Amino acid sequence: MSVTWQALLDVDVGPVRQAAPVWDKLGAALEDQADELAANAKALPGVWPDGRASEAAVTHLNGMRAELDNAYVPVLTIAQSLAEWADGISELRGHALDLVDDAQRLHITIAGDGTISMDPGHADATTAQSMNSIVHIRDDILQRAADLDARLAGVLAANTATAAGTPAAFVDPKSIPARGTDPAAVKRWWDSLTPEQRRYLIMNDFEQIGWLDGVPAASRDIANRLALDHADETTRANLDQVKDRQDYIRSMYDQGRIWEVYPDAANPATEMDTELQRLGIEQADLEGKTRGITAIDKRLADTNLPRAYLLGLSTADDGKAIVAVGNPDMADNVLTYVPGTGADLSKVGGDIDRTNKMADDANSADRSATTAAVFWLGYDAPDSVPQAGQSGFAADGGNDLDGFQTGLRATHDGDDPSRNTVLGHSYGSTVIGHGAMNSSINADAVVFVGSPGVDVNNADELTGLDPGQVYATRAEHDAIARIPDWDLIHGNDPTRDDFGATVFSTDPGDPDNEGATHSKYWDDGNVSRTNVAYVVTGQTEKLT
Amino acid sequence: MGAVEVNTVELRKLGTRVGQLGDAVTRTVADAVPRLAPAGAKGSPWALLVQADATATGWSEYLTGLAKRIGEAGQSLVDTAGLYQASDERAADRHGPR
Amino acid sequence: MTMRRTPSAVLLIALSLTLLGCTGKKEDSVQPTETQTVAVERVDQLVKDATAQLPTGTTLKNNYRSNEGACDDPTDNGPAGRIFVEHRYTVVAADNNGVWKSDQVIPPLAAYWEKQGFGVKNDSRAKSDPRYTVENPDGYFATIQGYDRGSYYDFTLTVGSPCIWPNGTPNPQ
């Protein structure tokens, strides 16, 4: 049975789309149950200490735990594939419907079964020529539908369990390319592995695989979902520990026994204050990270928005996260959004919200193409404005961003490259500037929004780009404009004429609240949102 | 023999927990199974839908079997606890009260 | 040539002071606002009212319902924790496969909002992709964005709230 025009017009992707989250939840539940079984296996020797029978029981439990664990990757792969099929077939169906309309205007009718004919009274040479094109497009649409259908059916088949489970083949972790390896080389390495080997790596080495530029987005996503789960457990456990310690100290103090807590201290009360202060800071930090993890969890589970792919997660230092709305490997346009000063894992919810909106803006601005938007906090952002005065953060961040963008090119599906735009807000633009200084930043356009300067004085100095690829905007009342002696800290304002960027409009903002204007670029109705969408979708002739 | 070191009470509890975990996996699977295969898969012209049906069946069978094995492992631990306890009691009877 | 001169302490202090809003201008004062629940209701109501003005049979398809957009930016140094609500819909025509042969969306809405006393924030109806943004006296925004697809138009309707505290009262700072 092959895919017919009728089948494409009649298809209802709803049931497939609704099945995807069922697999997601199944995978997550099995993961949790694996952890529970692991806990029991660990406890067993404590209650049944010796003998071969006891050891055999532990091995057996651990084996079944591994089976539960090993279910995660294939089950999530199935969920992803179902979502991808629903989106892809839905898009192709849209193309088919558009073709019927377009044909009608050219006096050509496409029947329900796909047969194409010229309308009576219009059987002439011009119409015949149009008909040839229409036939060609119809066939192309059907071929793409059939190819997508077959490919994803194949993925499902490769991830179907049998009585023995789904096999995973051992890979020596030392053979994993180091972080920072050329993404094209990483992609070649990944392609050389069997599906079983890839499953194994995602499962057992998720922290490395999750951050490796050159590994396809779908695989990074599954690895990072495991990392997320792990980070959640660890952060909560640490938080409990911190709270318990605080409770213990206070309780001892209340009992007049604080000297027992600090037996060597000259002044136990001072020691106590110092430790409580430190614990308070730690608690706030861990609570912030928990907030961030929860926000990411929530977005991954949100079935009302395009499927999200987690391309990076770390809870070290201030935390890092890379969250893609839509799969960048499959999209026609990819927007990378780099946030500015103060960005960290605890605030990721607000940035994911902006990324959702920018994805929708672009997908609305051009319905004939798909856009994925990626929130990239893959660098250690400065905590504060004064700290942002140092360029060290941007230099390191620029390198990491370059690697990420090159990775996007390496893993993009098909022969046609996507249109990649990188947008930096505030200090994020400075990071992009650094990324564009010495090498190809592998972007087709960069956008500086509310920039304090990008550490060069002219677009010409961004040697990785043509000046024509550089866009900038700043609201009239953005407080960032008030940095005195602008060019001594981060170079000239990129919205100045002599910088050489294409400047587009943004609503002026509120003269009485310039600090708040710094974030108003994402407000509903701000013309900057539409303008950004035009840059992302390559409709720069429409910029205002 | 190390039989006297076996904490039969805790072992029984652990076995029970593992058994309950087996039940939990069974429930998880039973809950998901009706919704794993998209509706309309049978007789569909789409290869993915046909495959999704087979994939759902494969996973359902596999996981149901795994859940059963986990449950049985739990029961086996409970039984073992019972055996050790019985053995302890017999030993206590033989030696009489001290 | 890249800018790597270390900024002087004076410049850094001046920089941080300006971004702290200490320039003598009024900043967002720490005032109570409507709660998130109320703001969501009001946005929903504005959407409903707008839809009622459109041709019979017009329906809305939801693009997103964001109920917790971040109003503050890490650097704006205003009071932290404010959020805003923003919902977007695609305006689906009753016929024509849901798309619009002509602009039958902006005119009735512009007329209605004018009657309601909403201020016009942006009038870009003459652009190839027409846009029209209004703001009501309480700071709620509505935007109609049209897209010229060549042989037809698409429209989205986006309605948003002003910055609010989730519980109506300022978060402890």
Compare CB distances from A341 to C20, C74, C84 and report the shortest one's residue.
Answer: C74
Cα distances (Å, whole numbers) of residue A285 to A233, A281, A320, A383, B69: 15, 6, 14, 13, 43
* Chain A residue numbers touching C158 (CB-CB < 8 A): 524-525
C-alpha A77/C-alpha A168 separation (Å) is: 14
C-alpha A406/C-alpha A428 separation (Å) is: 18
Cα distances (Å, whole numbers) of residue A297 to A29, A283, A294, A347, C68: 14, 21, 5, 14, 16
Compare CB distances from A26 to B24, B28, B46 and report the shortest one's residue.
Answer: B28
Compare CB distances from A156 to B24, B40, B48 and report the shortest one's residue.
Answer: B48
Q: How far B2 CA lies from chain A's nearest CA (Å)?
A: 7
Range of the domain at C55: 25-160
Q: Which of C93, B10, C69 is nearest to A524 (CA)?
A: C69
Range of the domain at B60: 2-77
Q: Does C64 touch chain A (CB under 8 A)?
A: yes
In a domain, C77, yes or no: yes
Strand ranges of the sheet holding C131-135, from the earlier edge strand across to the other edge:
C59-70, C83-92, C153-160, C141-148, C131-135, C119-124
Q: With residue A220 as reference, give the H or E element that holds it.
A: helix A217-254
Closest-CA residue in chain A for B23?
Answer: A33
Closest-CA residue in chain C for A544?
Answer: C127
The CATH number for B8's domain is 1.10.287
C-alpha A302/C-alpha A346 separation (Å) is: 19
Q: What pLDDT does A231 receive?
A: 97
* 3-class SS of residue A351: helix
In a domain, C92, yes or no: yes
**Interface touch A29/B70, C-beta < 8 Å:** no
Q: Does B25 touch chain A (CB under 8 A)?
A: yes
* 3-class SS of residue A22: helix
- The yes-or-no reply on A/C contact (3 CB pairs or more, < 8 Å) is yes
* 3-class SS of residue C41: helix
Confidence band of C29 (pLDDT split at 50, 70, 90) = low
In a domain, C4, yes or no: no
Q: Does A251 touch chain C (CB under 8 A)?
A: no
C 116-135 → A contacts, CB under 8 A = 121-122, 124, 127-129, 131, 133
Closest-CA residue in chain A for C80?
Answer: A516
Q: How far C147 CA lies from chain A's nearest CA (Å)?
A: 7
C-alpha A450/C-alpha A498 separation (Å) is: 17
A78: tokens are: 């199935």
In a domain, B93, yes or no: no
Q: Which of A390, A438, A407, A401 is nearest to A423 (CA)?
A: A401
Compare CB distances from B28 to A30, A89, A160 and report the shortest one's residue.
Answer: A30
In a domain, B95, yes or no: no
Q: How many CB pairs under 8 A join A and B?
A: 130
* 3-class SS of residue B53: helix
Q: What is the pLDDT along chain A (544 residues), one digit of tens a residue?
A: 479 999 999 999 999 999 999 999 999 999 999 999 999 999 999 999 878 889 999 999 999 999 999 999 999 999 999 999 999 999 999 999 999 988 998 999 999 999 999 999 988 999 999 999 999 999 999 999 999 999 999 999 999 988 777 777 888 888 999 999 999 999 999 999 988 999 999 999 999 999 999 999 999 999 999 999 999 999 999 999 999 999 999 999 999 999 999 999 999 999 999 999 999 999 999 999 999 999 999 999 999 999 999 999 999 998 999 999 999 999 999 999 999 877 889 999 999 999 999 999 999 999 999 999 999 999 888 777 666 666 677 788 888 999 999 999 999 999 999 999 999 988 888 888 878 877 667 899 999 988 877 777 788 888 788 889 999 987 766 666 665 544 556 677 788 777 888 888 777 666 665 545 555 778 777 888 999 999 999 999 999 8
In a domain, C167, yes or no: no
Amino acid, single-letter form, for residue A299: R
C-alpha A53/C-alpha A42 separation (Å) is: 15
Q: How far A394 CA lies from chain B's nearest CA (Å)?
A: 46
In a domain, B65, yes or no: yes
* 3-class SS of residue A372: strand
- The yes-or-no reply on B/A contact (3 CB pairs or more, < 8 Å) is yes
Please give the DSSP secondary-structure letter assigned to residue C30: -
Q: Does B33 touch chain A (CB under 8 A)?
A: no
Q: Which residues, other chains included, contact A9 with Cβ-Cβ below 8 Å and sequence gap of 6+? A: A93, A96, A97, A112
In a domain, B82, yes or no: no
pLDDT tens profile C53-82? 999 999 999 999 999 998 876 555 567 788
Please give the DSSP secondary-structure letter assigned to residue A322: E
In a domain, B91, yes or no: no
Compare CB distances from C14 to A341, A484, A515 and report the shortest one's residue.
Answer: A484
Q: Which chains touch A (3 or more CB pairs under 8 A)?
A: B, C
**Interface touch A389/C5, C-beta < 8 Å:** no
Are the C-beta atoms of A182 and A407 separated by less than 8 Å? no
In a domain, B71, yes or no: yes
The length of chain B is: 98
Q: Which domains does chain A have, with CATH numbers?
A: 5-161 (1.20.1260), 171-302 (no CATH), 316-542 (3.40.50.1820)
In a domain, C32, yes or no: yes
Number of independent structural domains in chain C: 1
Q: With residue A201 as reference, give the H or E element that holds it.
A: helix A195-204
**Interface touch C27/A513, C-beta < 8 Å:** yes
Q: Which of A6, A12, A17, A40 to mutate to test the interface with B (most CBs of B within 10 A)?
A: A40
Please give the DSSP secondary-structure letter assigned to residue C124: E
Q: Which residue has the higher pLDDT, C103 or B91?
A: C103
Q: What pLDDT does C133 receive?
A: 94
Number of independent structural domains in chain B: 1
A 165-194 → C contacts, CB under 8 A = none
Q: Which residue has the higher pLDDT, C5 or A186?
A: A186
Q: Which chains touch C (3 or more CB pairs under 8 A)?
A: A
Q: Which residues, other chains included, contact C160 with Cβ-Cβ below 8 Å and sequence gap of 6+? A: A523, A524, A525, C43, C69, C84, C85, C86, C87, C140, C141, C142
* Chain B residue numbers touching A30 (CB-CB < 8 A): 25, 28, 63
Say which residue the tokens 């109501």 belong to. Answer: C45
C-alpha B36/C-alpha A19 separation (Å) is: 6
In a domain, C171, yes or no: no
Q: Where are the beta strands (DSSP E) in A114-188?
A: 116-118
In a domain, C63, yes or no: yes
Amino acid, single-letter form, for residue A539: Q
* Calculated CA dihedral for residues C48, C50, C52, C54, nearest 10 degrees: -140
* Chain A residue numbers touching C15 (CB-CB < 8 A): 385-386, 389, 483-484, 489
Q: How far A49 CA lies from chain C's nearest CA (Å)?
A: 53
Q: Which of B4, B55, B75, B84 to mutate to test the interface with A (most CBs of A within 10 A)?
A: B55
**Interface touch C15/A480, C-beta < 8 Å:** no
Compare CB distances from A37 to B11, B36, B70 and report the shortest one's residue.
Answer: B70
Q: Which of A251-265, B13-27, B83-97 has the lowest mean pLDDT?
A: B83-97
Q: Does A287 touch chain C (CB under 8 A)?
A: no
Q: How far B40 CA lies from chain A's nearest CA (Å)?
A: 8
Q: Residue B13 above 70 pLDDT? A: yes
In a domain, C130, yes or no: yes
